[in-house]
Amino acid sequence: MRVLITGAAGFIGFHLSQRLLHRNIEVVGLDCISTYYSAQLKRDRLSILESLDGFKFYEEDLGNADAVSKIFGDEKPTHVVNLAAQPGVRYSKENPRAYAHSNISGFLNVLESCRANPVEHLVFASTSSVYGATQALPFTEQDGTEHPLTFYAASKKANELMAHNYAHLFDIPATGVRFFTVYGPWGRPDMALFIFTKAILENRPIPLFNGGKMARDFTYVEDIARGLESLLPLPPSKDDNWNSKSPDPSFSGVAPYKILNIGRGKSEELMRYVSVLEEKLGKKAIIDNQPYPEGDLQATWADTTALESLTGFKPQIDIEEGVSNFVDWYMDYFKQ
Ligand SMILES: NC(=O)c1ccc[n+]([C@@H]2O[C@H](COP(=O)([O-])OP(=O)(O)OC[C@H]3O[C@@H](n4cnc5c(N)ncnc54)[C@H](O)[C@@H]3O)[C@@H](O)[C@H]2O)c1
Tens of pLDDT, residue by residue over 121-167, are 999 999 999 999 998 999 999 999 999 999 999 999 999 999 999 99
Does some domain include residue 288?
Answer: no
| Residues written for the chain | 336
For residue 18, what are the domain limits? 2-183+217-266+300-316
* Integer Cα distance of 297 and 289 in angstroms: 17
Please report the pLDDT score of residue 294 as a whole number. Answer: 81
Domain tally, the chain:
1
- Predicted local distance difference test score (pLDDT) of residue 99: 98
Model pLDDT, residue 297: 85
What's the pLDDT tens digit per position in 3-41?
A: 999 999 999 999 999 999 999 999 999 999 999 999 999
pTM of the model: 0.98
Q: What is the distance between the alpha carbons of residues 230 and 233, in angstroms, rounded to a whole number?
A: 7
> How far, rounded to the nearest angstrom, does the alpha carbon of residue 213 sit from its chain's CA centroid?
24
In a domain, 194, yes or no: no
Closest atom of ligand 1 to CA, residue 219: 3
* Inside any domain, residue 278: no
pLDDT, position 127: 98
- Asked if residue 8 has its Cβ within 6 Å of ligand 1, the reply is no
Q: Are 57 and 49 in contact (CB under 8 A)?
A: yes
Evaluate whether residue 111 is within a structural domain.
yes
The enclosing domain of 257 has a CATH number of 3.40.50.720
* Domain membership flag for residue 61: yes
Does a structural domain hold residue 237?
Answer: yes
Tell which atom from ligand 1 comes closest to the C-alpha of 84. Answer: 24
Of 14, 28, 31, the one to substitute when testing ligand 1's pocket (max ligand atoms within 8 A of C-beta) is 31
Residue nearest to atom 18 of ligand 1 (CA): 10
Residue 232 Cα to ligand 1 middle (Å): 19
273 touches ligand 1 (CB under 6 Å): no
CB 223 within 8 A of CB 263: no
pLDDT greater than 90 at residue 72: yes
The number of beta carbons lying within 10 Å of the beta carbon of residue 268 is 18
Query: What is the C-alpha to C-alpha distance for residues 249 and 240, in angstroms, rounded to an integer?
Result: 14
Helix (H) or strand (E) holding 36: none
Identify the active-site residue in 58, 99, 152, 273. Answer: 152
The predicted model gives 311-332 an average pLDDT of: 98
The residue contributing the CA closest to ligand 1 atom 31 is: 102
Closest Cα to residue 326, out of 182, 224, 193? Answer: 193
pLDDT band at 335 (very low <50, low <70, confident <90, very high): confident
What would the mean pLDDT of 211-227 be, rounded to a whole number? 95
Residues contacting 124, CB < 8 A, separation 6+: 81, 82, 107, 110, 159, 163, 174, 175, 176, 177
Q: Quote the mean pLDDT of the chain.
A: 97
Confidence of residue 94 (pLDDT cuts 50, 70, 90): very high
Q: Does residue 101 lie within any of the structural domains?
A: yes
Confidence bin at 51 (pLDDT 50/70/90): very high
Ligand 1 centroid–CA 208 distance in Å is 24
Q: Is residue 13 within 6 Å of ligand 1 at its C-beta?
A: yes
| Residue 292 annotated in active site | no
Residue 295 maps to a domain: no
